[in-house]
Amino acid sequence: MKLARLIEYLISKRSVLAVLLLVSMAALVLVDIILPPAYTRFTWDAIGGFAAFFGFAACAALIFFSRFLGEKLLYRDEDYYDDHE
């Protein structure tokens, strides 16, 4: 199970990985701000780092919206359909 050990190793180094990832994310935003926009099709094309912000916001929105939807409206017990079928 060498693969399993590799994964275990990676998990143990997860703070290092996280730092690496955050650095590269910062780099991505920086590059996006520095580079001139390739298109001006939408107004937000000109804003550097818009995609980063939007991705974060979209994810947060989805998490909260779906949670709201589920708890207020859609969630049922797993045996909800059982007694009728």
Partner 1 sequence: MITSDWLHPSLVLIAGTLVLPLLKGRAMQAWMVLLPLAVLGTLWMAQPGEHGQMAFLGMELVTGRVDELAMVFGWVFGTVLLIGAIYALHVNDRVQHVAAFLYGASALGVVFAGDLITLYVFWELMVITSVWLIWRRKTEVSFNAGFRYLVIHAVGGVVLLAGIILFQFETGTTRFEQIDVDGPAFWLILAAFMINAAVPPLHAWLTDAYPEATVTGAVFLSALTTKTAVYTLIRGYPGTEMLVWMGAAMTLYGVTFAMLSNDIRRLLAYHIVSQVGYMVTGVGLGTALALSGSASHAFTHILYKALLFMGAGAVIHMTGRSRLSELGGLYRYMPWTFVLYLIGGVSISAFPLFSGYVSKTMIVEAAAIDQRAVIWLMLVVASAGTFLSTTLKLPYKTWLGGDSGLQPREAPWNMLLAMGIAAALCFLIGIFPGMLYALLPGAVDFNAYTMSVFLKEMQVLLFTGLAFCLLLKYVGGGPKISLDVDWLYRRGGPRLVGAVGSAIITTDRAIRRTTLEHLARLTAHVEKKHGRDGKLAKSWPIGSMALWTAIVLAMLLTVGVYRG
List contacts with partner 1 (CB under 8 A).
1, 3-4, 6-8, 11, 21-22, 24-25, 28-29, 31-32, 35, 37-39, 41-42, 49, 51-56, 58-67, 69-71, 73-78, 80-81, 84-85
CB of residue 47 vs partner 1: minimum separation in angstroms?
12
- Reading the block at residue 85, the tokens are 């079928």
Looking at beta carbons only, is 16 or 61 nearer to partner 1? 61
Q: Are 45 and 32 a contacting pair, CB within 8 Å? A: no
Rounded CA-CA distance 23/21 in Å is 5
> Least distance in Å: CB of 15 to partner 1?
12
Which residues contact residue 63 at a Cβ distance below 8 angstroms, ignoring those fewer than 6 apart? none
